[in-house]
Amino acid sequence: MEHGTPFCPKCNAPQIRVSPALREEERGRQLEESERKLQPPDSSQPGGPPDSAIDWHLARICAIVAGALLAAVMMVPPLVTFAFIWMPWAGSLAVQLYKRKRPSALVTRGAGARMGVTTGFVAFIALVVFKSAEMAIAVFALHEGPQLAASLRAQVQQAAASNPDPQAQKLIQFFLTPDGLALLAVTGMVFLCFLLLLLCTLGGLLGALIFGKRART
């Protein structure tokens, strides 16, 4: 096809020349369209994935607040009696605090359980730090180590008196030794950690079921 000829010499059809700039522009539009199709759906729309709507930085802050509050409650002797109530309540509280900041977000059961387990972990760490500091002050500053050991032995002996089984008596006698007391303390901490994680997770799950729905606009 000759340059400058308006019609094709064979079929007399008008000749249309496409400049390289127009071809590049068309290619750019096609590329943008392909990228737009590959992008994930917007989480703010009702059809978007629910988990993408969770701001996990804010969720962790809410869980830390709820966990710290739970630890503070469990440090009060009259309130620690109702620990089985406070633990799931704290997990649910983390979801409630999050929903106050993000009322339009959908908190799924999985997200609520994740907030709950974070709450339980924070509460456990706070309790361990507080109790360790309390024990360190009592032993090293106030020199009450023998009194604390004697109090723990008295509790073990009281439990031994209520169980006349010879095998149980042997086990209890082991717990009266220094190694037994240490094992008893570690076992108690492991059980407390398991209980906090379990009940706070259940509380977060229930909180998601009750409070996790998107607010109507």
pLDDT recorded at residue 161: 66
The token pair that represents 190 in the structure block:
């492991």
Give a yes or no: residue 7 inside a domain: no
The parent domain of residue 104 ranges over 54-211
Does residue 56 sit in helix, strand or coil?
A: helix
Give a yes or no: residue 47 inside a domain: no
Condensed to tens digits (0 to 9), the pLDDT of residues 145-169 reads: 677 667 766 766 676 666 666 776 6
Give a yes or no: residue 5 inside a domain: no
Q: With 60 as the cut, is the pLDDT of residue 1 above it?
A: no
The reported pTM is: 0.66
pLDDT recorded at residue 119: 97
Give a yes or no: residue 17 inside a domain: no
Give a yes or no: residue 36 inside a domain: no
More reliable by pLDDT, 173 or 126:
126
Condensed to tens digits (0 to 9), the pLDDT of residues 33-82 reads: 766 655 554 444 444 444 447 899 999 999 999 999 999 999 898 888 89
Give a yes or no: residue 41 inside a domain: no
Query: Could you give the number of structural domains in the chain?
Result: 1
CA dist 67 and 91 (Å) reads 8
Residue pair 95/204 in contact (Cβ under 8 Å)? The answer is yes
Give a yes or no: residue 69 inside a domain: yes
